[in-house]
Amino acid sequence: MSATAPAMPRKLTRKEQRAVDNKTKLTSPTASVIAIIIAIVWTTPTAGLLITSFRPASEIRTTGWWTVFSNPDFTTENYSDALGTSGLGQSFINSIVITIPAVIIPILLALLAAYAFAWIPFKGRDILFTAVFALQVVPIQVTLIPLLTQYVNVGLDGTLWVLWLSHSMFALPLAIFLLHNFMKEIPASLIEAARVDGAGHVRIFFTVLLPLLVPAIASFGIFQFLWVWNDLLVAMVFASNDYAPVTRKIAEMVGSFGSAWHLLAAGAFISMLVPVIVFLALQRYFVRGMLAGGVKG
């Protein structure tokens, strides 16, 4: 195909393009109805619980949340009860304290390792990198009991330290893989030029690579943030009761008073507030990381 052919039609204006799109897309009424139904099913349950979290406890027990439209009656008491008497306030702080180092530590360690994998050739590098890559999908269940035994042996079980350590270790394979991929995409000529100028590894790392890696670090950072904040398994196995994060606390609330919906609803939204804000603010980076293969479990 020749781009200079005179017969080539001019570029369509945006309005014309939309007209063409509309003709060729699946814009039948059925299609729109399906899309709207999916959107409704996906949002109504959340909206219902959100409304519930602001209704008085006695009302929640006896009438459906949809009755607020004819009989509105709202309170913020559920939130103060959940944060205060139910102890969610302390576990909210625990969640913050657990999550921040569990995001920063693996990034620091993975940056070093990814740099070595990407830019220092050595014997056995491919095999080592493949091993790290393969470990990404290992279910962490396989590691939990022996790790717990180790922690008990050294007397660290139940502390914040083992939570940070465990989350960091579980995150390292993904972090190294993602950062390595981004580092590899930086043109070798940039690194070579710096080397010719006499820059060592450290100077190359800080002046050439790091500024270009900010989006990659952000991608992984959000991932890890959401993963740690939302984690239940690691918190159930390794945290002592004093350091239980929000997820574990509300999971316990479901078990112990399963029908205290005023507390559960408020608790659920307290736990969701931070990840939703982080996600909405940094959605761009999250999607980019996901498309680059950043998925773990």
Partner 1 sequence: MEWLLKPDGAGQEFLVMIIAIALFASVMALVLFLTDRPNMPRWVPIVGYLGPAVALIGFGLLFPALTTVVNSFQNRTKDAFVGLDNYAEIFTNPEFIRVLVNTALWMVLVPLVSTALGLVYAVLVDRIRMEKVAKTLIFLPMAISMVGASIIWKFVYEYKPPGVDQIGLLNQLLVTFGAEPQQFLLDPPGNTFALIFVMIWIQTGFAMTVLSAAIKAIPDDIVEAAQIDGVSGIKMFVYITMPSVRPAIIVVLTTIAMATLKAFDVVYTMTGGNFQTSVIANEFFTQSFVRQQPHIGAALAVLLFVIVSPIVIYNVRNMRISEGER
Q: How far is the CB of 103 from partner 1 (least distance, A)?
A: 10
- The one-letter amino acid code at 254 reads V
Q: Which is nearer to partner 1, 75 or 159 (CB)?
A: 159
Q: How far is the CB of 143 from partner 1 (least distance, A)?
A: 4
Q: Which is nearer to partner 1, 6 or 146 (CB)?
A: 146
Is 166 exposed, middle or buried (CB count within 10 Å of its CB: 0-12, 13-18, 19+)?
buried
Cα–Cα distance, 89 to 96 (Å, whole number): 11
Cα–Cα distance, 195 to 182 (Å, whole number): 20
Q: Tokens for 232?
A: 């239940």
Q: How far is the CB of 131 from partner 1 (least distance, A)?
A: 9
Is 136 exposed, middle or buried (CB count within 10 Å of its CB: 0-12, 13-18, 19+)?
buried
Q: How far is the CB of 39 from partner 1 (least distance, A)?
A: 6
Q: Which is nearer to partner 1, 212 or 254 (CB)?
A: 254
Backbone angles phi and psi of 260, in degrees to 5: -80, 70
Q: How far is the CB of 73 from partner 1 (least distance, A)?
A: 15
What is the rounded (10 degree) CA torsion for 177, 178, 180, 181?
A: 110
Q: Which is nearer to partner 1, 75 or 143 (CB)?
A: 143
Q: Which is nearer to partner 1, 61 or 72 (CB)?
A: 61
Residue entry with tokens 């050439």: 208
Instruction: Specify whether the CB–CB gap between 190 and 208 falls below 8 A.
Output: yes
